[in-house]
Chains A and B, each alone.
Chain A
Amino acid sequence: MNYEQLVQSVIGDTENSLRKFLPELILCATILLMLLTRLFAITRKILPPWLLATAGAGLAFFLAAPWVHLSGEVSTAREEIFTGMLVHDAFTIYFRAVLLFTTLLFIVLARISGLSDQENGPDFCTLVLGAALGMCLMAEANHLLIVFLAVEMASVPSYTLVGILKTNRKSSEASMKYAVYGAGAAGVMLYGTSLIAGITGSAHLPTIAWRLSEGIGTDYQLVLVLAGLMMMVGLAFKLSAVPFHFWCPDAFEGASAEVAGFLSVASKAAALALLVRLVIGFTSPPAAEPKRFEMKPAMVATASDAASNASTIPVVHTLEVKESDRQADRVAGMRTFLAWVIGVLAAITCTFGNLAAYGQTNIKRLLAYSTIAHAGYMMMPVAAGVAMMTANPVGASEAFAALLLYVLIYVFMNMGAFAIIAFIRNAIGSEEIADYAGMVRSSPGWVVCFSAILFSLVGLPPLAGFMGKLVIFAGLVDAGMYWLLFVGGINTAISLFYYLKVVRVMTFDPEPETRPPLRLRLASIPGLYVLVLTAPVILLIVQWNGLYRWAEAACKTVVGF
């Protein structure tokens, strides 16, 4: 390929990629616009940052359009964009939509609860959108450079968001702990990345998978295992999986409740998406060796050409079509290893989170441990999916779909719980569980909503959390991982007690005299917000099939059959 052709194909590829990248571009544009509107007094007045941020996140969500792409009418074949840096498929669309939706909910919540109206409101909105951009990139990464960049882009604004309450002692301590742990974990992850990239001689995930399956670099098996574990350190930190969970309760207690909700939902969803991407990326070699970008036939940016080009893009395939048994053995070995690592990590994380939640007196700390436990539940289907990829790709895709469904349900449950905590904090200035005593007498509607969310977090029928747990456990049965199913079942039973404790305090205990009066009505803006988030938790049982179909559609192209 000569120079001119190369330039032409880069231009064509970029034009094609930018169209698929539109929601993220909108986020970038909104961030720039927010910085510009701060320059003049008049623009500050007519375009407040929360309005811009809501509009930007809303427009990005609208353009992400999961209802169009996941309905099956539009083709969502796997396509590599930006010369193979990112990947665009149904999985990308699903996670991008979930993340943007969470961001939108969060910005609205911060506006209603007054967090984004303080003097640093513009910075706050900029940071939120920056973090959302990084999280979207985490879900689309196809190259080790993007993996690291996206993790950092999501983390660095999060550190600052935790410390946004500048004069608060707890907040500053929480953000320092989060930043120091986070930067350390990212450093270790980068070292692991450098070893994997060096041994296989590539940073492009499909190329790495191809070379590993060909046995290139497998002489250094020990180094590969070590590098894989180092990358797991970075991921486990983002997932708040044991033993890298220390930051989570501290950061959540110190941060304001709204930010804690955002971190527990969006950051975790993005980390799970990245985990699935990496695990599948390393263990599903493409059918043929991926070509370097400059070796590919020249590409002109027309829709028909993009379609024909899709044939040259490597299709991840299953083991039936593979010719070499040794290749299959290597891939199966890697899959078994990863399934065990993730499964054991999930079991430990889940058990630890639930046990540590017992003695908590601060509601945010309790929910932080509940988040750790849920990270464990949500890693279980990943382990099951990887374990099944060799023998039962349909089952594997269903296991991953279970994760996707749970992530969506988790958005409503946790954002709802943290929103209620934030509004109660605004009313009484306390986040201690003891101060919630007797709430049912003065604000019964809120207690019903909060209890519904807590029961849903336990996974009691007929709430949404029950459906989520049911499909996850069904995936474990398919994979034959009965030990993990057992751990999950026991943990669900354990978690019942500490969630019930909160409900008991709210309903049965007498009102403490030290507490200022608490009258929360449902017919107010905060009340409506809480109702909007609680309604899906209660009603999703009626209409969860549609969402599950989306989740299934999102996973088909990932496992690739």
Chain B
Amino acid sequence: MFDLLTQPVGLTHYLIVGAVMFVAGAVCMATKRNALGVLMGIELVLNGANLNFVAFGSNFLERNPAYQLGLDGQIISLFVIVLAAAEAAVALAIVLNFYNNHSTVDVDRADELKG
């Protein structure tokens, strides 16, 4: 595990950063009570996955060149960036609508529907 610190930067390092982002995002989604905080957590998760795609798609990081993701990985990450923006716009509009009706963005206060 600790040899990673002395090795030149490779695929593993990128994957670890991606995994940390994913976990941070997941924790953020689970613990934040503010709807905007939850949305930020979702962004982190999406970008963690995105980092994976870019790292897997890079020609300089893959171990076995015959089975590399290549340009597919980078194109997927571009699409994900666009989609994340669209999704964030819609989610923010929905949160704003919730705020207009309830005067709060606390997800715990969204408790009128249950059972």
Enumerate chain A interface residues (CB-CB to B < 8 A): 144-145, 148-149, 152, 156, 159-160, 163, 166-170, 172-177, 179-180, 183-184, 186-188, 190-191, 193-195, 197-198, 200-203, 211, 216-217, 249-250, 253-254, 359-360, 362, 365
Q: Which residues 60-103 in B have Cβ within 8 Å of A in the complex? A: 62, 64, 66-69, 72-73, 75-76, 79-80, 83, 86-87, 90-91, 93-95, 97-98, 100-102
B26 adjacent to chain A (CB < 8 Å) = yes
Report chain B residues within 8 Å CB of A190.
45-46, 49, 80
Say what secondary structure dominates the interface of chain B.
Answer: helix
> Shortest Cβ distance from B20 into chain A, in angstroms?
12
Closest A residue to B44 using CB positions = A187
Q: Contacts A184-B45, A190-B49 hold; do A173 and B69 have CB atoms under 8 A apart?
A: no
Interchain CB contact under 8 A, B22 and A197: no
Q: Contacts A172-B97, A180-B35 hold; do A201 and B79 have CB atoms under 8 A apart?
A: no
Closest B residue to A216 using CB positions = B67
Partner of B94, one of A144, A152, A160, A197: A160
Interchain CB contact under 8 A, A187 and B45: yes
Report chain B residues within 8 Å CB of A203.
69, 72-73, 76
Interchain CB contact under 8 A, B115 and A197: no
Report chain A residues within 8 Å CB of B29.
184
Report chain A residues within 8 Å CB of B18.
194
Interface centre among A168, A250, A359, by most B CB within 10 Å? A250
Closest A residue to B91 using CB positions = A179
> Shortest Cβ distance from B56 into chain A, in angstroms?
4
Closest B residue to A167 using CB positions = B101
Interchain CB contact under 8 A, A191 and B48: yes
Report chain B residues within 8 Å CB of A163.
94, 97
Report chain A residues within 8 Å CB of B16.
none
A-B contact list, 28 entries, CB within 8 Å: A145-B72, A148-B76, A152-B83, A152-B86, A156-B86, A160-B90, A160-B93, A170-B113, A173-B98, A176-B110, A179-B94, A180-B35, A183-B42, A183-B91, A187-B49, A194-B50, A194-B53, A195-B52, A197-B69, A198-B15, A198-B53, A198-B55, A198-B73, A200-B67, A202-B67, A203-B69, A359-B115, A360-B115
Partner of B46, one of A176, A187, A217: A187
- Bound-state CA distance A267–B77 (Å) is 25
Give the 10 A-B CB pairs with smallest separation, nearest first: A201-B67, A187-B45, A198-B56, A194-B52, A250-B113, A191-B49, A190-B49, A194-B49, A176-B98, A172-B101
Interchain CB contact under 8 A, A193 and B49: yes
Interchain CB contact under 8 A, A187 and B42: yes
Across chains A and B, the number of contacting residue pairs, with CB separation under 8 Å, is 145
Interchain CB contact under 8 A, A183 and B112: no
Report chain A residues within 8 Å CB of B22.
191
Closest B residue to A199 using CB positions = B56
Closest B residue to A359 using CB positions = B115
- Bound-state CA distance A186–B42 (Å) is 9
Closest B residue to A251 using CB positions = B113
Report chain B residues within 8 Å CB of A217.
67
B107 adjacent to chain A (CB < 8 Å) = yes
Enumerate chain B interface residues (CB-CB to A < 8 A): 15, 18, 22, 25-26, 29, 35, 38-39, 41-42, 45-46, 48-50, 52-53, 55-56, 62, 64, 66-69, 72-73, 75-76, 79-80, 83, 86-87, 90-91, 93-95, 97-98, 100-102, 107, 110, 112-115
Report chain B residues within 8 Å CB of A187.
25, 42, 45-46, 49
> Shortest Cβ distance from A301 into chain B, in angstroms?
24
Q: Contacts A145-B75, A173-B112, A180-B107 hold; do A198 and B94 have CB atoms under 8 A apart?
A: no
Interchain CB contact under 8 A, A159 and B94: yes
Report chain A residues within 8 Å CB of B68.
201
Partner of A365, one of B80, B100, B110, B115: B115
Report chain A residues within 8 Å CB of B53.
194, 197-198
> Shortest Cβ distance from A211 into chain B, in angstroms?
7
Interchain CB contact under 8 A, A159 and B46: no
> Shortest Cβ distance from B102 into chain A, in angstroms?
7
Given A159-B91, A191-B49, A201-B67, 7 other A-B residues pairs in contact with their CB atoms under 8 A:
A170-B113, A175-B94, A187-B49, A188-B26, A194-B56, A197-B53, A201-B69
Q: Contacts A156-B90, A203-B72 hold; do A176 and B67 have CB atoms under 8 A apart?
A: no
Interchain CB contact under 8 A, B87 and A156: yes
> Shortest Cβ distance from A74 into chain B, in angstroms?
33
Interface centre among A167, A175, A201, by most B CB within 10 Å? A201
Report chain B residues within 8 Å CB of A169.
101-102, 112
> Shortest Cβ distance from A406 into chain B, in angstroms?
28
Partner of B52, one of A160, A198, A253: A198
- Bound-state CA distance A217–B107 (Å) is 41
- Bound-state CA distance A174–B94 (Å) is 10
- Bound-state CA distance A149–B68 (Å) is 22
- Bound-state CA distance A145–B83 (Å) is 12
Interchain CB contact under 8 A, B35 and A253: no
> Shortest Cβ distance from A171 into chain B, in angstroms?
8
Report chain A residues within 8 Å CB of B72.
145, 197, 202-203
- Bound-state CA distance A202–B98 (Å) is 41
Interchain CB contact under 8 A, B67 and A183: no
Closest B residue to A254 using CB positions = B113
> Shortest Cβ distance from A476 into chain B, in angstroms?
32
Interchain CB contact under 8 A, B83 and A180: no
Interchain CB contact under 8 A, B100 and A144: no
- Bound-state CA distance A249–B115 (Å) is 8
> Shortest Cβ distance from A142 into chain B, in angstroms?
13
- Bound-state CA distance A53–B76 (Å) is 31
- Bound-state CA distance A167–B76 (Å) is 38
Report chain B residues within 8 Å CB of A186.
87
